[in-house]
Amino acid sequence: MKHVIGLGFATAFAATMVFAEPVDPTAVVYEDGAVAVSLSGQAGDPDNGAILMNKGSGNCIACHSVEALSHLPFHGEVGPPLDGVADRWSEAELRGIVANAKVMFDGTMMPAFYKTEGFTRLGDAYTGKAHADGSVQPLLTAQDIEDVVSFLVTLKEE
């Protein structure tokens, strides 16, 4: 009996591992700019998403103001304020915008955060980080994107 339980547990664990495999940046499916499925295969953490909005490669508030983050200084005005953004866009649309805003907004200056090819200047700190082996890492990981999106869906005003 003990043996059977052990095997069942191992199978469930293996299934979780497969499910949690991140979608490669080159394999993301955009439908009208929206991405339906979690890029990491996991739910996002809105608290970490709020941190990424102001940190490192994310730094969204350099271009966007967010009332919910008003304790942080220097909100930019390059992009629209993100207050109530979840009333305007679905979760799938928000995921698509954060992963690669250029699909939704042709020619936008918002960086593509989950993209590793098609850059004109590889290695530029803001368009993609080239590694020693020449591979390019996206600005945010799949889980970072999910965390940011899970924060954005909390931004409702209605």
Residues lying near ligand HEC in the complex (CB under 6 A): 58-60, 62-64, 78-80, 82, 85, 88, 94, 97-98, 101, 105, 108-111, 113, 148, 152
In the complex with ligand HEC, the residue whose CB is nearer, 14 or 156, is 156
40 closest CA partner among 148, 134, 116, 153: 148
Token pair 């960086």 in the structure block, residue = 111
In the complex with ligand HEC, the residue whose CB is nearer, 23 or 111, is 111
* Rounded Cα distance, 5 and 126, in Å: 49
The two three-digit tokens of residue 107, written as one number: 């020619």
In the complex with ligand HEC, the residue whose CB is nearer, 23 or 75, is 75
Q: How far is the CB of 52 from ligand HEC (least distance, A)?
A: 7
Q: How far is the CB of 20 from ligand HEC (least distance, A)?
A: 22
In the complex with ligand HEC, the residue whose CB is nearer, 19 or 46, is 46
Q: How far is the CB of 27 from ligand HEC (least distance, A)?
A: 20
DSSP 106-122: TT-SSPPSS--S--SST
Q: How far is the CB of 120 from ligand HEC (least distance, A)?
A: 16
Q: Which residues lie closer than 8 Å to 122 by C-beta, 6 or more apart?
A: 128, 130, 136
Beta strands in 4-123 (DSSP E): none
